[in-house]
Amino acid sequence: MVNASPGYTLPVWVTAAACAAVQALQRAEAGPAAAFEGLQTLELLEPPGLRQVPVEAAAPIGPGRALGISRCDPGAGLDLTRGLAVWVVACWIQPPPAGGSCFVLEAGEGVGVHGATGDLCASAYARALLETNLRPLVGAGRAVCLRLVLPEGRALALRTSNAAFGVVDGLALIGTQAEVQHSAAPDQLQACLAALAARTATAGFNGDLVLVIGENGLDLAPSLGLPAGLLLKVGNWLGPVLVAAAEAGVRRLLLFGYHGKLIKLAGGIFHTHHHLADGRAEVLTALAALEGLSGEALGRLHGAATVEAALSELVAVDPALAQRLERRIAAAIEQRSMAYLARYGSFPMCVGAALFDRRRQLRVCGPQGQELLEAFRHPLG
């Protein structure tokens, strides 16, 4: 057994609080003798293995209801979830839900939901983590309702890009692994390079790769037909990873990400963390000017709050121009990526770009991106 160490994503802290709440329900049924334990032993799945995760409190809060509380510790580096309180209210439900799951999730205050459906926004990893750790506690033939509350979640969500992906009212549980990967930190680059080296060294590697920017992209890509075996999540260190991919033998590489992020590459910015460089408005308006936009319309484009808002406003005024501009952005991303590679050597790697929007819809592909997307979706053989 390895003791807990900081650096866990939000789904881990939710699972710890949920397990503590279920155990509090069980203690209430058994009587007052059992004491609350401050550590929860969890199977983290990604990476596999048991870890002990601290929980602040757990207790019954009324007939058939119990509360578990944990507090996020994302480890070193900048992370807005640091110190975030996680509350999970648990109660038994009968009959168990369809599909055989041992739990049902409800979104309380501060928990992000999909704006279009109202469904709680949780990744496949978050749900699998809950299922794996709750199943032994809940037992056969029973199920538990978990109401999640993040008291500061609504305010913190305003500092994220959640709204850009249609998530409203709070923070989403979109982690795909247990340990926090700090996208601007050098160790995150090293982790990505190590994963790239491992991927390209496998016997079945055929030279194809999809670099996915961010958790939303990683969650969205499979639904668009991109095989999971091609996907590699990359943080903000896109330039070094591009070069490393070419050196490792990648021949066809697709960049898949949110257009409000990837547009930086069209301006030659290959470390995309906003603390180091932005320039999105300047890149957008420069490319728009090349498409013929001028005067007040160009000024409004520059003054928009986000790239998403700027493009949406342009679509409303001149859809044809907006479409041409988006195609130019995608093509510029491809061109600047190839120019970046050329600074470090002569490589036979081609780079394509596929961009999605806040509705998690594929928005536009560059000329190479369209070819690669179709090839990766429908591999030969």
Does residue 1 lie in a domain region? no
Q: How far apart are the first and last CA of the chain?
A: 45
Residues 201 and 59 in one domain: no
Which of 139, 171, 203 lies at the terminal end of a domain, its last residue? 171
Domain count, the chain: 2
Does residue 177 lie in a domain region? no
Query: CA distances (Å), 190 to each of 170, 197, 241, 288, in order?
Result: 31, 10, 10, 36
- Domain interval for residue 56: 10-171
The Cα–Cα gap between 346 and 348 comes to 7
- What's the pTM? 0.58
- Which CATH number fits the domain that encloses residue 145? 3.30.2110.10
Residues 218 and 160 in one domain: no
Does residue 116 lie in a domain region? yes
Residue 275: its pLDDT value, please?
44
What is the rounded average pLDDT of the residues 84-93? 96
Residues 236 and 342 in one domain: yes
* Closest among 222, 314, 15 to 137, alpha carbons compared: 15
Answer whether residue 183 shows pLDDT above 60.
no
Does residue 3 lie in a domain region? no
Residue 95: its pLDDT value, please?
80
Residues 166 and 197 in one domain: no
Residues 95 and 204 in one domain: no
Residues 167 and 200 in one domain: no
Residues 162 and 16 in one domain: yes
Residue 144: its pLDDT value, please?
95
Residue 274: its pLDDT value, please?
47
Does residue 196 lie in a domain region? yes
Answer whether residue 86 shows pLDDT above 90.
yes
Residue 278: its pLDDT value, please?
67
The Cα–Cα gap between 301 and 322 comes to 11
Q: Lowest mean pLDDT of 227-241, 309-323, 332-346, name the range.
A: 227-241
Inter-residue contact 333 to 260 (CB < 8 Å):
no
Model confidence at 34, in pLDDT bands (50, 70, 90)?
low
The Cα–Cα gap between 21 and 62 comes to 12
Model confidence at 269, in pLDDT bands (50, 70, 90)?
confident
Report pLDDT digits (tens) over 220-241. Answer: 888 889 998 999 988 777 888 8
Residue 147: its pLDDT value, please?
97
Residues 106 and 154 in one domain: yes
Model confidence at 186, in pLDDT bands (50, 70, 90)?
low
Residue 116: its pLDDT value, please?
81
Residues 147 and 232 in one domain: no
Which pair of tokens denotes residue 253?
A: 């590489």
Using DSSP's 3-state secondary structure scheme, residue 220 falls into helix
Residues 292 and 238 in one domain: yes
